[in-house]
């Protein structure tokens, strides 16, 4: 049956492909061919100057109108037959004999000029973009506030103006058969390890996908473990973070039409560090960093601990807390695990609702949710108020993690922990923690260990992992993705 279906479809596909192939023969760069290529495109503009045999073709909304008017149209209007040759010998006119190139150039927003048998491409791209705005999803208090936007050239300039070095190399790729997104891979030549660069190049070249819209999608195509709950390549919308990753010897990527950039190889700690750590005094930064790691464990285990203690380990409860805890549980009709799952689910829904709704309505949802979850459900005896405190604290802790992708991952893991705690108590939590550590340590990001420098252990690099030591000690910090320096070792 399957085979039959396959056959039918496969044959069908093959037939389609062959037809397409006939059509897909490279069009000649002549006016008629290009015109046929863009048949039924109502938005294309064609201009003709019959006296001097010149035709123009362009998308009006993609070109810089004033410039084209001044430099091209007004001049062509006054041209004679004899002057044409010399006019088109200017460097701004690029002769092309490749039909595909012409099509792509037209799609990118250039003006195509046909003169008898010659085809010229006139660069006039001017795409409307968003202005450079403040970072939306990764706000910080101290430090620069600009964020990447959807225009790749702007993004590139945001990085270039921070890293002023000729050693900053840029590779260009085009990803997506239909979307044809430009991807720039950036690295600093003397800092990044060449074999990692080559590895990333390989992966970029092997991407086969029709359409792609964001860096966060692209990242899932080039990471090693797509099934893991944890993101293995760091993405951010902050150019300052990306520049610091460059100087750490990492490789970064930008993509057109995406306000995000990625950096590889990433470690787990990239996701829990924030630029604020560096902009504040080192003591403050270090403490906040330690709190954040605490928050990671709290958000994963706190609700699970409530479940395991109220289900199995009543002996662990301190004497003074016991009456309160028991009293709050006594009206609840569900076993603790069901109660906790209901609450976590509700909180998750609230968060999702807040994310999807427009801001004005979102606030209302927050208030309603707060009242419903906070007091009404306790008074109704659906949950105990102590659980609400636990759930709220673990929810708050999950928002402490700066990377949104990572905090989502952690929130998903939490459900596994709650289940394990409900079935096996503290033993279950230990097993789940074991699995968590195992899965974290076994991950790699671009062939480098995910939990570096904790595992494999390199204590000399802990100064910028668990804490943030004073900046003078961090200068010349070695890094797993950095090339080894041969001379001037540790000269300060």
Partner 1 sequence: MNKLVFLLIFIFFLTGCMNNYGIDDLAMISGIGFDASKHEDKHLDITAMYQVPTEMDVFEYLHASSNSLENADIEMMSQTKRQVVNGQLRISLFGEELAKDGIFPIILSFLRDPSVGPLVSLAVAKGTAKEILITKLEKEPNTGSYIETMLERLDEEYVYPSVNILQFSRSYYDDGIDPILPMILTTKRNILLDGFALFKDDRMVASITNAKAIYLFLLSEDFKKGVIDLEIEIGGKKEDVHLSYVRTKHKIKVKKENNNFSVNFDIHITGNLEGYSGKQTLSKDTVQKEIESKINNVLNSEMKDMLAYLQKNNVDPVGVGEAVRNNLSYNEWKSINWEEVYPKINFTTEVNMKIRNMSKFH
Residues that bind partner 1 (CB under 8 A): 309-315, 317, 319, 322-323, 325-327, 329-330, 332, 335-336, 419-420, 423-425, 428, 431
CB 303 within 8 A of CB 391: yes
CA 359 to the chain's CA centroid: 23
CB 484 within 8 A of CB 474: no
- In the complex with partner 1, the residue whose CB is nearer, 283 or 326, is 326
Smallest separation, CB 309 to partner 1 (Å): 7
- In the complex with partner 1, the residue whose CB is nearer, 47 or 329, is 329
- In the complex with partner 1, the residue whose CB is nearer, 295 or 388, is 388
CB 259 within 8 A of CB 248: no
Collect all residues with Cβ–Cβ distance below 8 Å to 244 and sequence separation of at least 6: 275, 278
Smallest separation, CB 297 to partner 1 (Å): 22
- In the complex with partner 1, the residue whose CB is nearer, 170 or 326, is 326
In our burial notation (b when 16+ CB lie closer than 10 A, e otherwise), range 134-172 reads ebeebebeeebeebbbbbbebbbebbeebbeeeebeeee
- In the complex with partner 1, the residue whose CB is nearer, 213 or 314, is 314
Closest C-alpha to 191, from 149, 246, 146 = 246
Closest C-alpha to 242, from 218, 215, 202 = 215
Smallest separation, CB 425 to partner 1 (Å): 8
Q: Which two tokens stand for residue 25?
A: 């023969």
- In the complex with partner 1, the residue whose CB is nearer, 307 or 400, is 307
Pairing of strands 261-264, 234-236: antiparallel
Using DSSP, state whether 44 is helix, strand or coil: strand
CA dist., res. 446 & res. 441, Å (int): 14
Smallest separation, CB 428 to partner 1 (Å): 8
- In the complex with partner 1, the residue whose CB is nearer, 132 or 386, is 386
Smallest separation, CB 339 to partner 1 (Å): 9
- In the complex with partner 1, the residue whose CB is nearer, 195 or 319, is 319
The dihedral through the CA atoms of 275, 278, 284, 288 has a sign that is positive
Smallest separation, CB 300 to partner 1 (Å): 18
Smallest separation, CB 340 to partner 1 (Å): 12
Smallest separation, CB 227 to partner 1 (Å): 9
The dihedral through the CA atoms of 442, 443, 446, 450 has a sign that is negative
């Amino acid at each position: 049956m399957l085979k039959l279906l396959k056959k039918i479809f496969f044959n069908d596909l093959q037939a389609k492909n062959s037809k397409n192939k006939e059509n897909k023969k490279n069009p000649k760069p002549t006016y008629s061919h290009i015109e046929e290529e863009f048949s039924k495109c109502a938005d294309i503009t064609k201009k003709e100057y019959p006296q001097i045999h010149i035709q123009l073709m362009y998308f009006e909304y993609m070109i810089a109108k004033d410039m084209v008017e001044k430099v091209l149209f007004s001049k062509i209007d006054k041209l004679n037959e004899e002057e044409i040759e010399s006019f088109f010998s200017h460097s701004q006119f690029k002769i092309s004999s490749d039909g595909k190139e012409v099509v792509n150039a037209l799609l990118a927003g250039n003006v195509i000029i046909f003169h008898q048998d010659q085809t010229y491409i006139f660069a006039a791209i001017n795409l409307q973009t968003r202005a450079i705005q403040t970072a939306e999803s990764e706000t910080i208090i101290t430090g620069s506030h600009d964020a990447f936007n959807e225009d790749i050239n702007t993004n590139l300039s945001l990085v270039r103006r921070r890293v002023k070095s000729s050693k900053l190399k840029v590779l260009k790729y085009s990803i997506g058969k239909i979307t044809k997104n430009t991807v720039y891979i950036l690295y600093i030549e003397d800092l990044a390890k060449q074999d990692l660069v080559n590895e990333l190049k390989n992966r970029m070249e092997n991407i086969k996908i029709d359409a792609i819209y964001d860096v966060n999608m692209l990242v899932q195509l080039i990471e090693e473990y797509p099934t893991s709950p944890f993101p293995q390549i760091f993405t951010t919308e902050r150019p300052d973070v990306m520049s610091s990753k460059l100087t750490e010897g990492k490789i970064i990527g930008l993509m057109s039409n995406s306000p995000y950039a990625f950096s590889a190889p990433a470690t787990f700690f990239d996701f829990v560090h924030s630029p604020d750590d560096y902009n504040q005094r080192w003591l403050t930064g270090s403490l906040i960093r330690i709190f954040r790691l605490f928050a990671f464990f709290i958000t994963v285990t706190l609700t699970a601990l409530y479940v395991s203690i109220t289900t199995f380990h009543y002996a662990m409860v301190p004497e003074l807390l016991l009456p309160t805890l028991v009293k709050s549980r006594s009206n609840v009709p569900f076993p603790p695990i069901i109660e906790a799952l209901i609450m976590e689910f509700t909180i998750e829904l609230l968060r999702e609702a807040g994310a999807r709704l427009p801001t004005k309505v979102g606030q209302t949802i927050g208030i309603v949710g707060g009242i419903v979850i906070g007091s009404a459900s306790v008074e109704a005896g659906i949950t105990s108020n102590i659980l609400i405190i636990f759930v709220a604290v673990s929810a708050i802790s999950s928002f402490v993690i700066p990377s949104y992708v990572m905090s989502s991952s952690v929130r998903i893991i939490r459900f596994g922990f709650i289940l394990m705690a409900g079935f096996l108590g503290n033993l279950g939590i230990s097993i789940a923690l074991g699995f968590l550590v195992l899965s974290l340590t076994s991950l790699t990001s671009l062939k480098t260990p995910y939990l570096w420098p904790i595992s494999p252990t390199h204590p000399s690099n802990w100064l910028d992992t668990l804490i943030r030591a004073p900046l003078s000690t961090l200068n010349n910090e070695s890094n797993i993705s950095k090339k080894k320096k041969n001379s001037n070792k540790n000269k300060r």
